[in-house]
Amino acid sequence: MSGRLEWMDDALCVETDPEAFLPEQGGPGGRAARAVCRRCAVTEECLRFALVNGFEGIYGGTSTRERRGMARTRAGVAR
């Protein structure tokens, strides 16, 4: 990850406990993080960032599992 990601300056998650965005896999966690994402102005940028970089946790209002599904669907479309 290089360069400055200016959209992050507008991300609401920087004002939130970072642990909320790393819920236990398969657990009920993530609700608080998703609530923050729903109010955030840079959700699309965040989602794109997570898809490109393969990060774990809640990004752009989606879980790691949801993004993996998106990536598989996208790979199938690209063929």
Summarize the confidence of residues 3-23 as an average pLDDT. 89
Helix 43-53 crosses helix 31-39 at what angle (to 10 degrees)? Answer: 130
Give the residue-averaged pLDDT of 20-27. 78
Residue 32 makes CB contacts below 8 A (sequence gap 6+) with 16, 20
Q: What is the mean pLDDT of residues 2-31?
A: 83
pLDDT of the residue at 33? 93
Would the pLDDT of 9 be above 90? yes
What gap in Å lies between CA 75 and CA 79, rounded to an integer?
A: 7
Write down the pTM of the prediction.
0.81
In contact, 71 and 51? CB cutoff 8 Å: yes
Tell me the C-alpha to C-alpha distance, in Å, between residue 13 and each of 35, 49, 62, 70, 75. Answer: 10, 14, 13, 22, 29
| pLDDT above 50 (res 2) | no
pLDDT at 76 over 80: no
